[in-house]
Structure 1
Amino acid sequence: MKSVKITILGKQFPLKVEDSEEQTIKRIAHYVDDKFRQYKKELNKQPDTTVMSLAALAIAEELFEERQHNKELEQQDGKIMNEVNESLEEFIGEISSE
């Protein structure tokens, strides 16, 4: 495990992560910090907890949309694989009957 410090809205947070996850967690923290800063700029009169909550909801919405998109792609992949398998079975059947 490795100790890393991330910064979100100017506050540092120490984390323990696997060595292999260090860069990933830093990229995630940077993304979250950027999103929080964007919302803070837009909602400058709101308390940090409101800004962070709304930004977290936006990030969660992005995650859910990506999951839905991935699910749709997996379904398309499955459909294509079924079509390929059916075509191969037909082709093998044609070759076998010759």
Structure 2
Amino acid sequence: MESIKVTILGKQIPLKVQSSEIENTKRIAGFVDDKFKVFRSQFSNQPDSTIMILACLSIAEELFETKAKLSKELEMDSKILDDVNSELTKLIKQIA
């Protein structure tokens, strides 16, 4: 495990992560910090806790939308593969 520090909303947060995850963790922390900053600029009169909740809800919404889109694409790909497999099976039967 490696000790690193990430900065979110101006606060340094110490973390212990696997060496292979250092860059990914820093990238994710940067993404979260950027999202918090966007909400802080839009709702400057709100406390940090409200900003964090709104940003987390926004991140979760993006995650859910991406998962739904991926699921739909996987269903479509699966149907296409089933159709191709069916056609190939028909062709093999015709050849045999």
Whether the TM-score (by the shorter chain) exceeds 0.5 is: yes
- AA aligned to 1:82 is D
- Per-residue deviation, residues 30-81 of structure 1 (Å, max 9, x unmatched): 0000000000000000011001100100000000001101111110111111
**What are the equivalent positions in structure 2 for 1:1-98 lying under 5 Å apart?**
1-96=1-96
Q: Supply the distance in 2 between the matched residues of 1:32 and 1:85 (Cα, whole angstroms).
A: 43
RMSD of Structure 2 on Structure 1 (CA) = 0.7
How many equivalent pairs are there? Answer: 96
Residue 74 of structure 1: SS of its match in structure 2?
helix
Q: Supply the distance in 2 between the matched residues of 1:8 and 1:36 (Cα, whole angstroms).
A: 8
- AA aligned to 2:36 is F
Residue 13 of structure 1: SS of its match in structure 2?
strand
Residue 76 of structure 1: SS of its match in structure 2?
helix
- TM-score for the superposition, normalised by structure 2: 0.97
Q: Supply the distance in 2 between the matched residues of 1:69 and 1:9 (Cα, whole angstroms).
A: 31
Q: Supply the distance in 1 between the matched residues of 2:18 and 2:77 (Cα, whole angstroms).
A: 33
Q: Supply the distance in 2 between the matched residues of 1:44 and 1:87 (Cα, whole angstroms).
A: 60
Runs of 4+ in 1 over 2 A off after TM superposition: none
5+ residue gaps, structure 1: none
Residue 14 of structure 1: SS of its match in structure 2?
strand
Residue 44 of structure 1: SS of its match in structure 2?
coil
Q: Supply the distance in 2 between the matched residues of 1:8 and 1:43 (Cα, whole angstroms).
A: 17
